[in-house]
Structure 1
Amino acid sequence: MSGRRLRGTAIGAPHGFADAPLEAYLSEYATSVLGAGGLPLHLPMDAAPDELVARLDGVVIAGGEDVDPRRYGQAPGPFTPLIDPQRDEFEAGLIEAAIDRGVPLLGVCRGAQLLNVVRGGTLHQHLAHGEGESHGSYAYPRAHRVHEVRTAAGSAVQELYGETTRVNSFHHQAVDLPGRGVIVTGWAPDGVPEAIELEGSPVLGVQWHPETFDADPIFGWLVQRAAAYATLGAASAAQTVA
């Protein structure tokens, strides 16, 4: 699971350590993976993404700040907050390595958006508050389900959630033009993409935050796919040795 880079001031570090680099991870991602039977690992941003993924059976790209618009051919706009190029580069490397190796991947909110950008897609830079579903509103508790999502027939998200599900909403951006192999498989009532999948790969991206819900099925999906990948990897290694 990816995190973000902060400074010591974020945890009230004493004088002399206020500017010390800090890795921060939201615990609900880890507890969701644990609840689904997996073993969560937090990934340090200074490591090489391909070397990390070579030792993993699954990857979660967590939510967070906006992806740098320059990654999809645009310039930062009036609603672009502080960008973290280091995080963009690190997580893009994780996504590319996971896809190349066939490692199961789950992208949440920013993670889904970055997945689309890595595949050459673009984003809506800003969804205005008070229009459509007001996706960027922070008026509700994080686990409150504020709107419905319609899923595509035959998709992995429909298999997990049925034809419709209700989700929370904490994003002011969304997928615009899908990237290579990216298929939109879930939509909000206003047409904003809410779920994406990568054709032929164990890769899902959702715009909502499933980690805030109790035993959300998408983490069961991830752990099951990771277990299958681990089994196949072990069998392949044994065959190579033989």
Structure 2
Amino acid sequence: MMQARRFEGRSVIVTGAGSGIGAATAQAFAAEGALVTLAELDPVKGAAVRAAIIEQGGKALFVETDAADEGSVKGMIEAACAAHGPVRHAFNNVGLSRPGSLEELSLEDWNWTMRISLTSVFLAMKYEVPVMRTNGGGTIVNTASMSGRIYTPSAAPSYSAAKAGVIHLSQYASCAYAKDNIRVNSVLPGLTATPLITSMFTTEQQGVIASEHQMIHRAVEPREVAAAVLFLSSDEAAMITGRGLEVAGGGSHPG
């Protein structure tokens, strides 16, 4: 007997869906029967992920989206609902950083990182929650980072602060909307072998960096984060909310 797919016919949003964790998660949702809306700023990347999903027999809509612009986010969610029905699951995954220590960071770079990595999550939830509340509930998973929980010297202070904000914002929303049958969690990846990381470091170098904070001395694969997101979004996790799930090879010890 064929096993039922966990997200068959359900409307799902993935932001930052053009590469890395976002692309892996979008494809994983589609493989489980979801109707996926790909929110991505880069039209080439977004179209490529959509094509890959369609080629595998899945269903996906690409909406060019600036995740830190309120009108763009609102329009994307409206398009997702129009195409696939009310959004039932959301994975808010946008996050970037500009380097620099506390002394080196300009206010512009601080604000830029906060806008991309924290404000984007706020805006997504601002428009996802009303849809879910009106239609019986849903799930939200936000991408935080181990840098938001522990000190990691490779992360800029602005990124660490933004991701700490994502963790707390997720917890806040989980408490505020549990009565509406909306579960909100976050995932906290360690060093992850995204295209950006693999372009900067060899596999051996990734292992050295990971060994500074993890018991498993290798980078996390995007598909491994995707598996955690799908579990938290699934009916199997019906009693899990307000949690930050570390996907980091045991990397919870202090830096």
The answer to which structure has the higher helix fraction is 2
TM-score, with structure 1 as normaliser: 0.40
TM-score, with structure 2 as normaliser: 0.39
